[in-house]
A and B are shown apart, each in its own frame.
Chain A
Amino acid sequence: MSELRYEAPKTLEAAVALLAGAQGLTKVLAGGSDLLVQMRAGRIEPALVIDIKGIPEMTTITAENGGFRVGAAVPCMEIVEHKAFAKTWPGLTEAIALIGSIQVKGRASVGGNLCNASPAADSVPALIAAGAMASIAGPKGKREAHVEDIVTGPGKTSLAKGEIVTSFFLAKRPPHAADAYLRFTPRTEMDIAVVGAAVNLTLDAKGVCTDARVSLGAVAATALLVAEAAAALIGSSVDDAALARLEAAASAAAKPIDDKRGTKEYRIKVVGVMARRAATIARDRAKGNP
């Protein structure tokens, strides 16, 4: 019987050193809401878990250059309760608010949601649409990466051995900008997204869309950043015609599978609907944001 080792480093350097030097399967423990379930089910048998919640920069939300830096291990509930953050990033906040129950959100983190690398993770499309940058620490030092470049497939990331996502940076918002996230689940709560859609857009003073990012979840091996969907909005007043083009582009970009949570056909149709509805919400929010 192999014994499971537990370490709780107090600094990033110590965590990276542990990760880089580890023998056998090593898992980072943030909220544990995915990791402990996988361990209990016997799907993984790590030799070492590294609890990173004692590392200050990973567990705080701070203002930075007019934007926000969110530690990768901050529990979701702390983000949801952060009034200034929620006001600036309502879509990302609602995506985070959809990760499991209140109980799960009391532990689960956005870093964990990303690095668990589930195609259906709620926060990931919203982070991608928001243009969030991930800060990564590793044996070779620190680097920055776009969130969309982290996950490479179900359960797989581009992180090298010893690397760890430490925080996310969300830049200062221009005026008339807002985001929204919608997912579809059979129940009102407690489900994994059948599809998810995040829309982040900026309007000019006349209400014309000058910038947009659209990201879709649970319709491919990873969350998708769909340029065609964004292009459907840019230059428009996000009117019905633009929304219809967006819906079509979102459905066209979806490459889902059939599984226990939804059929391919259903996902293709409904991801378009969710994208259109999310864009409508984002547009109305942006109009209200001076």
Chain B
Amino acid sequence: MDTPTSYPEKKLKVIGTSPVRPDGVPKVTGLAQYGADFNLPGMLWGKVLRSPHAHARIRSLNTKNAEALPGVKAVLTAADLPEQKFAYVGPERIAVNYWHMTRNILAREKVLYEGHAIVAVAATSQKIADEALKLIEVEYEVLPHVIDVDAAMASDAPLLFEDMITRGIEPPPAKASNISKRIEYKLGDIDAGFAAADEIVEMSFKTAPVHQGYIEPHACIARTDSDGQSELWVSTQGHFVVRTFVAKLLNMKTGDLRVHAAEIGGAFGGKTVVYLEPLAVALSRKSGHPVKMTMTREEVFKGSGPTSGASMTIKIGVKKDGKIVAADALFKYQAGAFPGSPVMNGCMCGFAPYDIANMRTIGYDVVCNRPKAVAYRAPGSPISAFAVESTLDAVAKKIGMDPLQLRLKNTAKIGTPLIWGPKHTHAGFAETLQALAKHPGYNAPLGKNQGRGMASGYWFNGGGESSATVSINEDGTAVVATGSPDIGGSRASTALMAAEALGIDYDRVRPIIADTNSVGYTQGTGGSRVTYATGKAVINACNKVIAELCARAAKIWKIEVEDVIWEDGHARPAGKKAGAFEPLSLKAIAAQRSATGGPVTASAAVNDGGPAPGFSTQFCDVEVDPETGAVKILRWVAAQDVGRAVHPAYVEGQIHGGVTQGIGWALNEEYIYDKDGHLINAGFLDYRMPVCSDLPMIETLIVEIPNPNHPYGVKGMAEANIVPPMAALANAIHNAVGKRLTDLPMSPPKVLAALSAR
């Protein structure tokens, strides 16, 4: 039961305010419990033996000495995990293959990257567990490895899977390769489009793999009873997803695994999959003791998912007046050790903001010897946008047009076809461009060695499955239980929406993240779906509660329920009974709970298909040190269509965060490997994420074009903001010094080399 689709803005009371988050206090006093903060009596410590090689066949594995060490209670190898069927399950864009997944959890035939897990042990202390790892004997046959995506696609490249035949090519190639999949999207006739162009720009780009960089390493604790029922506390974006994966990987009944979402110390896509979780549960089953596992920072970098590095070529044809008539793109993304890069997203998002009659995107998903790529904020889109938005800047320059005006001239509108088939159904892009165009900084003068660059970005945003239960307490307060881990303020946004729907004060609503056995199935917190889709489940549950409260009022007044309406947090007699009784507040009805029919509680579930996409447009000013290649950021302005800013301060915060991650990606972050395929910067010292002193205050321009598919107009807004920064910076550097950087990161040595080049 959906509520009416649009509330006039003036009627909103609490949505659009920025109160203190409901879960705030424990997070400033140190009492909030994150993944590593749980302990259980009799607990063991689990540790993982990882591959020292980038690529090797496991000749033999001997764990006898480790098992014999006093204090070691369980040792787990791939032989303890059931074999899985080779099949891609689920929608192609996010398909999983359990045959791959179980091999990523514990290596079987081969190790495919440095840091690949091989054996897990559980012991009575961390020290004994560490000692046990040293007693495990592994005989490796070291194989040649490949990391760079272009090298991995070469016909003579070492193969990660000797039998992998590229999907998506008809007829299938006869020869195995590292190319897992080819995809192609087409619209119109690109040959005719390019033939009609006055100018054509073609450029190639590379990006480095970057890590999500959450500050909290992966952590969990599991326990199993002798009847086979297990319980798991874990830092994750989706505890239902963890339950599904672990149950499948360990061949458990889903109902036998109860998963609690701990507070989560950052994720950004990186905690949508499992690493330690199946190991902890399996070790607890095998040992009969609770088992706690945490990753070190080095393990996080070497054994958990960065996003893809890529190699790309973009070709854009334009008329002299700025109308783009043809666009062609080739995207080659590293999947890491197992198939599943976000290249499909890259192919879909790259040209999505634009109305271009003739387009083609071709994508390759390529395996190589590094950790399997995992979602990272708008997965796939920032990579393709770096290439597309940089090329657009060159196009603008070539025809002598302001880059913002070029984009305005080619803006997709409602009804413009998307490359993958459907048409745009939401506005919002042009408004972000207009917001920037009006900003006084966009035309402000620049000094020596300074430059300005702008870029745009698109992200789908997600809908999908969510559940919520709303219960009214006897004093008129409300508990809102959802299954969505709160990774950055979603308790606040769901509480605001529930308060708005119920017509009660924000601080009378207490949101909780219920465990898998306490609320209905809910997909992970990802794709900017929670405030939108889980929010809809909450609002629907509130509306059921309101219907019930109206029925209670009718009972109290002894009138027909049809003659009761809900307004402003009160039941009021209406219709022919209008004015017959004093309105009853939610609190007053709740006080009569027992006498009027017992507990007031309602659940709702959605499988939502109506998310609206997000658009972000940003500009930045930089100063380049011509003698060192250092790039200093002087100003950053980010406009984004957010539908409705439910909690404006957290909306701003999401934009600040996305921009900053984009800046890190653009300037310094990268995985650096030695010649043997070892990651040599697996720590925060040399994996250089932005620090506080690297940045100016980031200015946000919140654009609100409501989403008609949500009662309060909400659109997802946590991801589109990371899409533009890389190209915005490349464009600003070009504007400052006349050199085009096409290879991320644009670190000082690369900038200086570009400056020295003729």
Contact = CB atoms under 8 A, between A and B. Distances in A.
Partners in one complex: yes
Contacts, number: 55
Contacts of B690: 187
Nearest to B667: A186
A187 B668 contact: yes
Sort chain A's interface into a size bin: 20 to 34
Nearest to A269: B752
A191 interface: yes
Nearest to B664: A187
A6 interface: no
A106 B749 CA distance: 32
Contact of B691 (A1, A189, A265): A189
B691 A190 contact: yes
Contacts of B748: 184, 186, 194, 266, 270
A187 B694 contact: yes
A262 interface: yes
B667 A190 contact: no
A1 B132 CA distance: 11
Contacts of A189: 691, 693-694
Interface in A174-211: 184, 186-192, 194
A263 interface: yes
Given A191-B685, A260-B672, A260-B686, A186 B747 contact: yes
Contact of A188 (B131, B681, B684, B693): B693
Nearest to B687: A260
A88 B733 CA distance: 40
Contact of B630 (A186, A260, A265): A186
A190 B668 contact: no
A276 to B, nearest CB: 9
A1 B71 CA distance: 13
B649 interface: no
Contacts of A186: 630, 667-668, 688, 747-748
Interface in A259-290: 260-263, 265-266, 269-270, 273
A184 B628 contact: yes
Given A1-B131, A192-B685, A260-B681, A184 B630 contact: yes
A273 B628 contact: yes
Contact of A270 (B628, B668, B686): B628
Contacts of A184: 628, 630, 748
Given A187-B690, A187-B691, A188-B691, A270 B627 contact: yes
B101 to A, nearest CB: 29
Interface in B650-702: 667-668, 672, 680-681, 684-686, 688, 690-691, 693-694
B298 interface: yes
B752 A266 contact: yes
A260 B680 contact: yes
Nearest to A192: B685
Interface in A226-265: 260-263, 265
A254 B635 CA distance: 36
B749 A266 contact: yes
A152 to B, nearest CB: 25
Contacts of A269: 627, 752
Nearest to B692: A189
B127 interface: yes
A1 B630 contact: no
Contacts of A265: 749, 753
A41 interface: yes
Contacts of B685: 190-192
A273 B752 CA distance: 12
Nearest to A101: B691
Contact of B298 (A1, A41, A188): A41
A273 B688 CA distance: 23
A99 B541 CA distance: 55
A259 B681 CA distance: 11
Nearest to A262: B749
A36 to B, nearest CB: 14
A263 B752 CA distance: 11
Nearest to B673: A260
Contacts of A190: 684-685, 688, 691
B36 to A, nearest CB: 16
Contacts of B681: 260
A188 B627 contact: no
Interface string B596-637: 000000000000000000000000000000011110000000
A196 B684 CA distance: 21
Nearest to A194: B748
Contacts of B629: 266
A260 B127 CA distance: 32
A192 B681 CA distance: 12
Interface in B300-349: none
Given A186-B688, A186-B748, A260-B681, A1 B628 contact: no
Contacts of B688: 186-187, 190-191
B121 to A, nearest CB: 15
A194 B628 CA distance: 11
A41 B130 CA distance: 12
Contacts of A273: 627-628
Contacts of B693: 187-189
Contacts of B694: 187-189
A187 B686 CA distance: 10
A187 B687 CA distance: 11
A172 to B, nearest CB: 35
A113 to B, nearest CB: 15
A2 B358 CA distance: 70
A54 B127 CA distance: 29
Contacts of B627: 269-270, 273
Contacts of B672: 260
A256 to B, nearest CB: 12
Nearest to B686: A260
Interface string B724-757: 0000000000000000000000011100110000
B626 to A, nearest CB: 10
B41 to A, nearest CB: 25
B678 to A, nearest CB: 11
A156 B571 CA distance: 81
Which among A186, A189, A194, A260 has the greatest number of chain B C-beta atoms within 10 A?
A186
Contacts of A194: 748
Nearest to B681: A260
B461 to A, nearest CB: 32
A63 to B, nearest CB: 34
Interface string B112-155: 00000000000000010001000000000000000000000000
A21 to B, nearest CB: 27
Nearest to A100: B685
A184 B752 CA distance: 13
A190 B672 CA distance: 18
A186 B748 CA distance: 7
A254 to B, nearest CB: 15
A270 B749 CA distance: 10
A226 B202 CA distance: 48
Contact of A261 (B628, B686, B752): B686
Contacts of B667: 186
A203 B25 CA distance: 58
Nearest to A184: B628
Contacts of A1: 127, 131
Contacts of B684: 190
A228 B517 CA distance: 74
A188 B693 CA distance: 6
Given A1-B131, A41-B298, A191-B688, A263 B749 contact: yes
Q: Which 4 A-B pairs have the closest CB atoms?
A: A266-B749, A188-B693, A273-B627, A260-B672
Given A187-B691, A192-B686, 7 more contacts: A41-B298, A184-B748, A186-B630, A187-B693, A189-B694, A265-B749, A270-B628
10 contacts: A41-B298, A184-B630, A186-B688, A190-B684, A192-B685, A192-B686, A194-B748, A260-B680, A266-B629, A266-B752
Interface of B: 127, 131, 298, 627-630, 667-668, 672, 680-681, 684-686, 688, 690-691, 693-694, 747-749, 752-753
